[in-house]
Structure 1
Amino acid sequence: MEKNVLGTHVIAQIGILVRDIEKTCEAYAEFFGVENPGWSFTAPVEMARTEYRGERSEARAKLAFFKMGSLQLELIEPDEHPSTWREYLDEHGEGPHHIAFRIEGMKDKVMTLELNQMPLLQKGEYTGGRYAYIDTLESLKVIIELLENDKK
């Protein structure tokens, strides 16, 4: 594999799976002495175009974002539909799910990673961009998320 296939080594985000986002948001806000950011739902499949393991999925999640200096901490409470979030929470319980990197050239990056036995788990869109979760558990021991924002 070529070196630095992502084009960056700066971690933008750490994602943590939780069963109760309201309770966990309060705990983080209190622990760090910061404002509780509240949470929001991911967009429905018609807008997000969510795919999990190559199939369309109705998967949605409640998300909360804490700004932690140069890093964003994302809390994720998945719904019951098939997703990398639901699968990982069911199999491993609450805790770290992924580390994320902001990239450019999503299609090329995903293709390169897949050619190197790092398959796409889930992808979708959000207002202003797209995301992809890559199965890098075997080699890197964590799921990698790629975040690509639209150019302004």
Structure 2
Amino acid sequence: MSKNLLGNNFITQIGILVHDIEKTSQVYADFFGVDKPEAIITDTVDKAQTEYRGESTVARAKLAFFNMGSLQLELIEPDEHPSTWREYLDEHGEGVHHIAFEIEGMKEKVQLLEGAQMPLVQKGEYEGGRYAYIDSVKDLKVMLELLEND
């Protein structure tokens, strides 16, 4: 495997799956002594163009973000529709789902990782960019999220 497939070693985010985002957000806010962030809901499939395992999905999630200096904690409460979030929460329970990296060249990075036996699981769009979840659990023991901002 070539050195540094992502182009950087800077982890920008840790994503944590939860059953109750309001309750867990408050616990984190109290723990860190900060205001509880407003939970947002991911865009609908027509805007987000969400694909899970190669198929379009209407899956959505509530998200809450804690900006902790150079690292962001993302809490994720998925809905019931098929997604990497729902699958992972159902199989493993609450806890860390992914570590995220900001990258450039999404298509190229996904191809490189797939060539390293780390397949694309889910992808979508958000205002100002796109994301891709890569199944790196076998090798890295955690899912990777690639974030490409415009």
Structure-2-length-normalised TM-score:
0.99
Structure 1 residue ranges without an equivalent (≥5): none
1:82 matched to 2:82? yes
Shift of 1:38: 1.4
Deviations along 1:101-127, whole A, 9 cap, x unmatched?
000000000011111110000000000
Kindly report the root-mean-square deviation, in angstroms, between the aligned alpha carbons of the 2 structures: 0.4
Correspondence for 1:53: 53
Correspondence for 2:147: 147
Shift of 1:73: 0.2
1:7 matched to 2:7? yes
Correspondence for 2:125: 125
Correspondence for 1:105: 105
* Runs of 4 or more consecutive aligned structure 1 residues displaced over 2 Å after TM superposition: none
- Structure 2 CA distance, aligned partners of 1:142 and 1:8? 17
Deviations along 1:68-118, whole A, 9 cap, x unmatched?
111000000000000000000000000000000000000000011111110
- Structure 1 CA distance, aligned partners of 2:116 and 2:94? 29
Deviations along 1:29-77, whole A, 9 cap, x unmatched?
0011001111000000000000000000101000000011110000000
- Structure 2 CA distance, aligned partners of 1:32 and 1:76? 18
Tell me how many residue pairs correspond in the alignment: 150
Q: Percent identity?
A: 73
